[in-house]
Chains A and B, each alone.
Chain A
Amino acid sequence: MGQRRIHLRLNGVDRQLTVEDQILLIELVRGLGLVGTKLSCDMQVCGTCTVLLDGRPVSSCTTLAIEADGRSVVTIEGLADLAPGSEVPRLHPLQQAFINRFAFQCGYCTPGMIIAAKALLDEHPRPDPAAVRHWMEGNICRCTGYESIVEAIGDAAELIGGAR
């Protein structure tokens, strides 16, 4: 007790780690160098720390690391894929769509936005703009980029749909 061994699949790679019970998931992933996941409000309001836990978006700032035991965790670093033999990762359609639409200014909220949007598109491959807004309302952008964010998610849905 107090400290335990956990097994998780982190961005597709099986990991075994020892963590103390009170360690938060954001501390775990950032401690492993995955610093794309950002801390901001620290109270589940802003969404910058969003990661996927078994496919569900959660606030890693308010999730214990031990909850990842036996489960899969995806952070922003896990989205781009590296084709065999290639050294240049291929961006996820959401990442590409955010660039195409200039759906960020400072970029601090972007990893959380993209991870939240991935969970949305995994469940609803073709959401209408109202569904996008409802799903994303817990992710805050203080540079006021919401219109382009909603458009980027719509573009990504089409990109992914077209690739099917």
Chain B
Amino acid sequence: MLRRFDVHRATSVKEAAQLRQRFGEDAAVYAGGTEILLAMKLGVARWPHLIDVKRIKSLNHISATKDMLRIGATATHWDIERDPQVARMLPAFARLEANVANVRVRAAGTLAGNLAFAEPHADPPALLVALGARVVLESAAGSRTLPVAELITGMYQTAMAADEIIVAIEIPLPAEDVRVAYVKFQILERPSIGVAAVATVRDGRFVGAPTVVVGAVDEMVRSVPTAQFAGADARDAGTHEALAEAARSAVEPTADLAGSVEYKLQLVGVFTQRACASLMAEAS
């Protein structure tokens, strides 16, 4: 059912990077396979070589410091949703991970693979962008860190060089009084829309501007311009409606199986308001 290819099992990041360099566009990095094997079965992509990174021991760790979660590139959604540190330090992200696709995809698929494939209908990017998360990339030439917001540049497009691999995702932990929400809706296996909201609320008002990021309706996630909402009444339905309008203006939905442009704009408005409600329902 799949055309012939060779799997190369790298045992170090260095070896994986060298294989990337050697095969260039003829190779894909392979971990869970939940995206690339599908793409190959559908015939929309063909790689004669897969570089298996699952045997690189240093990549499967999830660790935490007091201000950052670091998720290794081969950690699966299954690992992340069960990790006690993630559940304690970033419960909204643990919940997101527990609702990615289905249990089988979570058991095999990795967060790093989700980001590297840059499928627009995905859950993690919106919240990761809202939290200011970064990816750590390595190549034979060295290592660099890139915000998730700059990693994904379009549909199935990233800013990664052909010889780079993701080694980890770093998520800065929000301060204690920061509220974090992610709401989504889907009728298929992937989200039709996901909205992430991050804000500090004191005495019923936003401290600074809230962060709102809309995912899955567009070719890539969109950050909503919210500067005008700094200090706004966070409980007021009028504020939520105005944020919803700002979100609708910030996206350029594409019509697909998940719905028409008009339908998606409606979803953006409704789910931005729900994200606001979810933020306010959170104990700060």
Contact = CB atoms under 8 A, between A and B. Distances in A.
Main secondary structure of the interface of B (DSSP, over half): mixed
Contacts, number: 74
A64 B102 CA distance: 19
A135 interface: yes
B102 A24 contact: no
Contacts of A53: 107
A72 B38 CA distance: 24
Interface string B15-53: 000000000000000000110011001100000001000
Interface residues of A, number: 29
Size class of the B contact interface (CB-based, 8 Å): 20 to 34
Contact of A137 (B8, B41, B50, B102): B102
Interface string A53-81: 10011110011101000000000000000
Contacts of B189: 44-45, 138
Contact of A56 (B1, B8, B102, B107): B107
Nearest to B109: A44
A1 B5 CA distance: 9
A24 B78 CA distance: 21
B8 to A, nearest CB: 7
Interface of B: 1-8, 33-34, 37-38, 41-42, 50, 78, 101-105, 107-108, 189
Interface of A: 1-2, 20-24, 27, 42-45, 47, 50, 53, 56-59, 62-64, 66, 116, 119, 135, 137-139
30 contacts: A1-B6, A1-B8, A2-B4, A21-B4, A21-B6, A21-B7, A22-B2, A22-B3, A22-B4, A22-B5, A23-B2, A24-B1, A27-B1, A43-B41, A44-B189, A45-B189, A56-B107, A57-B103, A58-B104, A58-B107, A59-B105, A62-B33, A62-B34, A62-B37, A62-B41, A63-B37, A63-B108, A116-B103, A135-B103, A138-B103
